[in-house]
Amino acid sequence: MKKIAYGEVMKQIVILVGIIILVLALVAGCMNNGQQGPAGGTNLQNPAVTPAPVNHIVVNETLNGATISVNRNEIISLMLMENPTTGYSWNLTTSSGIAITNSSYVPSDTSGKLIGSGGTHIWEMTAIQSGQQMINAIYLRPWEPVTGNETTFSLTVIVR
C-alpha cells in the first residue's frame, strides 16, 4: 500500500475545489441572459420581464443611437446596466421636453451575497413637449475628467 503525503492530499483537494468553482462559474454564465453591462458585468436578472402598461415604452442599450416616436404624455423607461461599486455611474441628461419622474437602481444580486455585482439603473420619463427631444447619458466616475473614451448612450425622441 502506497502512502500519500499530507501535502499531496491538500494539493489534490485544492485542485478539485478549483475545478468545482470553475464549473459552477461556467454553469452560472450559461444560465444568464447574456447581457453585458458597460463595465463588462453580466446581467443576472432581467427587470424588464414585467409587461409595460399601455402608453409606456421600455428602452435599453440596444436602442443606443436610435430614434423613436412617442405620443405626448407617454412614459419612457430607460434601463441601462450599471455597477456603482466600481465608482462608475450613468450621468443622464434630457432636453426640456422630457421630464424625469423617477430614478432607481435594481441590483442583479438581490441576496446581497455577491459583493461588487452590478445591476440596472432605471429612469422613468414623460414626454411633455412635442418635437424632437434628446436623452443622453455618459458612464463615468464623476470625479474623473471626461476623456472621450467613456461609454455613452443617446436616444432621439420624436414626440407627436
pLDDT tens readout for residues 110-150? 777 777 789 999 999 999 999 999 999 999 999 999 999 99
Segments making up each domain of the chain, as ranges: 47-159
The answer to which of 54-58, 78-82, 112-116, 147-151 has the lowest mean pLDDT is 112-116
**Does domain 47-159 sit in CATH 2.60.40.2020?**
yes
The conformation of residue 148, written as its DSSP 8-state character, comes to: S
Who wins on pLDDT, 60 or 42? 60
Query: Residue 87 forms beta bridges with which residues?
Result: none
Could you give the strand order of the β-sheet that contains 75-82, starting from the edge strand earlier in sequence?
56-60, 75-82, 119-127, 98-107
* pLDDT over threshold 60, residue 20: no
Q: What contacts 42, CB < 8 A, 6 or more positions away?
A: 29, 32, 34, 35, 36, 108
Q: Residue 120 burial by CB count (10 A; 0-12/13-18/19+): exposed, middle or buried?
A: buried
Residue among 139, 28, 49 at smallest CA distance from 92: 139
pLDDT for 45 beyond 80:
no
**pLDDT (average), residues 52-75:** 90
Instruction: Point out the least confidently predicted range of 32-41, 74-83, 90-99, 107-116.
Output: 32-41
Lowest mean pLDDT among 9-23, 75-89, 120-134: 9-23
Cell of 60: 435599453
